[in-house]
Amino acid sequence: MRKAVLTVAFLLSAVLIVLLYSINLGDGAGSRSKTELNHQMIDLLSGNSNSPHQPGTLYKIVIDPGHGGKDRGATGAGGSFEKDFTLKLAHKVEEMAKQEPRIQVCLTRTDDRFISSVDRERPKFANDLGADLFISIHGNTYEDPGVSGTETYYYHENSRSLADIIQRQVVQASGFRDRGAKKQDYFVLKDTEMPAVLIETGYVTNPQEEKAMLTEDVQSRIAASILEGIKEYLNLN
């Protein structure tokens, strides 16, 4: 009986996504892109989607502030360190998530400490926790200070729709150039056992972008957009 109910729920979910996809193709007015809907259809039909959910489920979300301690990450045009920006942004996401009864945020680091990449501590933390999602926060760098924009990386196919959603949400909130969602074999994405993305929120080596990223207003908007992306992916809106 339970198997039959789950089968019906699966089919209804598939039909709903197909209908939403058709509407989006027809009027082009939906907030989700055709690419996102296509990726979500693939996730659902391949069994990788987190939907449908059991009512009342508490979702464990690992937020990973990139770098830390002796690993300063990128140095910004004005001298800021990436490790400080990522930690501050992660704490903002954590604080905002306290208003969401079905989301529990866990940070890979809560202070300025070094986390070894050799020991793969970040993905191990998420895997041991049994997390539902893993989101690594970074600030980008390039030798040309004119390069700017937001990009989101994923590795496993079951992370692609999450990357699309987070990318769209952060770009809308920050107003930064949309550099798209891309596949990349970072170990924090390869070694995690749940949907995982790495968001490069902006280029700290771009003077204008760094200045914006260090303001309370932009940080709060980006943090809220990451949380909104999580809720959208989990169908908690």
Q: Which residues are identified as catalytic?
A: 200
Please tell me the distance from the alpha carbon of residue 222 to that of residue 174, in angstroms, as a whole number.
Answer: 6
For residue 141, what are the contacts with CB-CB under 8 A and spacing of at least 6?
A: 73, 74, 75, 82, 203, 204, 205
Please tell me the distance from the alpha carbon of residue 73 to that of residue 144, in angstroms, as a whole number.
Answer: 17
CB 164 within 8 A of CB 181: yes
**CA angle (181 as vertex; 178, 183 as ends), nearest 5:** 145
For residue 52, cis peptide bond before it (omega within 30 degrees of 0):
yes
